C-alpha cells in the first residue's frame, strides 16, 4: 500500500518561544502542525524510529531550554481541535483547550467537567499529567482514550488500562501519545454549570498572575500541604533572577517579566527546591516538564 504523504505544516529550525506560555525557549529542529488525526498518523509514519518526538498544546506546563530541541515537536493546539457529543459522551481531541471542554460540556447540559475551566492547557496535556484543580482530576471523568504510537498506528484504550495518581498517569506503553478522549459526565443543568464555571474563573483570576506569561503551577502540592505556602514561608515571593520572578500573587508560579530566558526560570526552580528542602526538609516535585538543551 502506498504511503499517504503528510499535508500539514512543517517548520524547520523554528523558534519555540511563541508556542509556549512562558514565551521562552530556543529553536526546535522541526515543528509539525498536523491537519487532523489522519495527517498526524501519516507524518509519524515517516519519522525514523529513533527520532525524539514531543507533543505540545498551549505550551503550558513545559519549559523549553534556550538551546532548543533536537528532534520534532508536534503542535496539536488549533490542529486536533474536534469536540462533539457522541453517544452521551463528550469526545474531545488533544488540542481542545480544557476551558473549551468545560464550556462545551455545560452547553450540552453535562456536569462534572466544570473544574477543567481552571486548567491552563489542552486535553492532551491534561490526560498526560492527570491535571486537576478545585477538587477535580482529569482521569476521574475519562471513559476511554485514543492514542497514537511512533509508527502512526491508533489505539483505543479503556480507562482501566491506566493507573492515575496525583498529577501522574502510568502509561501501558511509553511510546504512545494521547490524541483524543471520551469523557463520561452526569446529566446536569446548563445554566448551573455555566455559573459554576464563571465562579471558578473569577477565583482563578483573583489568585493567579494571569497578566504575565507563566506555565501554571511549578510544583505539585506535597501531601497535606501546599507548595505555595512552603515557598512563601521561605521568603521567595517576588524573588528574581534576570527577567524571571516568583510571582508576588501566587508563590507557586514563576512569571516572565518580559525578558526572561529559560535559564533564568530553571535557576529559580532550583532555588525554590533548595530553599524548601533546607527549611522544611520537603522535596518539591515539579509539575513543569523541562526539555531541550542548555546553551553551550
Longest dimension (CA), the chain: 63
> Helices 98-107 & 190-207, crossing angle to 10 degrees?
150
Query: In angstroms, rounded to a whole number, what is the distance separating the alpha carbons of residues 240 and 247?
Result: 9
- List Cα–Cα distances, 13 to 32, 50, 54, 72, 202, in angstroms: 11, 19, 15, 10, 39
**Region label for 71, one of left (φ > 0), alpha (ψ between -120 and 50) or beta (otherwise):** left
Query: In angstroms, rounded to a whole number, what is the distance separating the alpha carbons of residues 81 and 79?
Result: 5
Secondary structure class of 9 (helix, strand, coil): strand
CA dihedral 60→64→68→72, nearest 10 degrees, is -50
Q: Pick the catalytic residue: 14, 93, 275, 287? A: 287
Q: Pick the catalytic residue: 30, 167, 247, 275? A: 167
Q: Pick the catalytic residue: 105, 217, 266, 275? A: 217
Whether 217 sits among the annotated catalytic residues: the reply is yes
List the catalytic residues: 167, 217, 287
Amino acid at each position: 500500500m502506498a504511503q499517504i504523504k503528510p499535508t500539514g505544516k512543517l517548520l524547520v529550525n523554528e523558534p519555540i518561544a511563541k508556542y509556549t506560555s512562558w514565551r521562552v525557549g530556543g529553536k526546535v529542529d522541526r515543528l509539525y502542525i498536523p491537519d487532523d488525526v489522519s495527517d498526524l498518523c501519516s507524518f509519524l509514519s515517516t519519522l525514523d524510529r529513533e527520532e525524539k518526538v514531543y507533543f505540545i498544546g498551549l505550551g503550558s506546563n513545559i519549559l523549553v531550554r534556550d538551546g532548543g530541541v533536537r528532534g520534532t515537536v508536534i503542535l496539536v493546539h488549533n490542529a486536533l481541535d474536534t469536540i462533539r457529543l457522541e453517544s452521551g459522551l463528550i469526545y474531545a481531541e488533544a488540542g481542545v483547550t480544557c476551558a473549551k471542554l468545560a464550556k462545551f460540556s455545560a452547553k450540552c447540559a453535562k456536569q462534572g467537567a466544570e473544574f477543567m475551566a481552571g486548567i491552563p492547557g489542552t486535553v492532551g496535556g491534561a490526560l498526560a499529567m492527570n491535571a486537576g484543580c478545585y477538587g477535580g482530576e482529569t482521569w476521574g471523568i475519562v471513559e476511554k482514550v485514543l492514542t497514537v504510537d511512533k509508527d502512526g498506528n491508533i489505539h483505543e484504550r479503556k480507562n482501566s488500562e491506566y493507573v492515575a495518581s496525583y498529577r501522574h498517569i502510568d502509561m501501558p506503553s511509553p511510546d504512545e501519545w494521547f490524541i483524543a478522549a471520551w469523557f463520561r459526565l452526569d446529566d446536569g443543568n446548563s445554566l448551573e454549570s455555566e455559573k459554576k464555571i464563571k465562579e471558578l474563573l473569577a477565583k482563578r483570576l483573583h489568585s493567579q498572575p494571569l497578566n504575565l506569561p507563566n506555565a501554571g503551577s511549578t510544583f505539585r502540592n506535597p501531601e497535606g500541604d501546599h507548595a505555595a505556602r512552603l515557598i512563601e514561608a521561605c521568603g521567595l515571593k517576588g524573588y528574581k533572577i534576570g527577567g524571571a520572578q516568583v510571582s508576588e500573587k501566587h508563590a507557586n508560579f514563576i512569571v516572565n517579566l518580559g525578558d526572561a530566558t529559560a535559564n533564568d526560570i530553571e535557576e529559580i526552580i532550583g532555588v525554590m527546591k533548595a530553599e524548601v528542602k533546607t527549611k522544611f526538609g520537603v522535596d518539591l516535585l515539579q509539575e513543569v516538564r523541562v526539555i531541550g538543551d542548555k546553551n553551550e
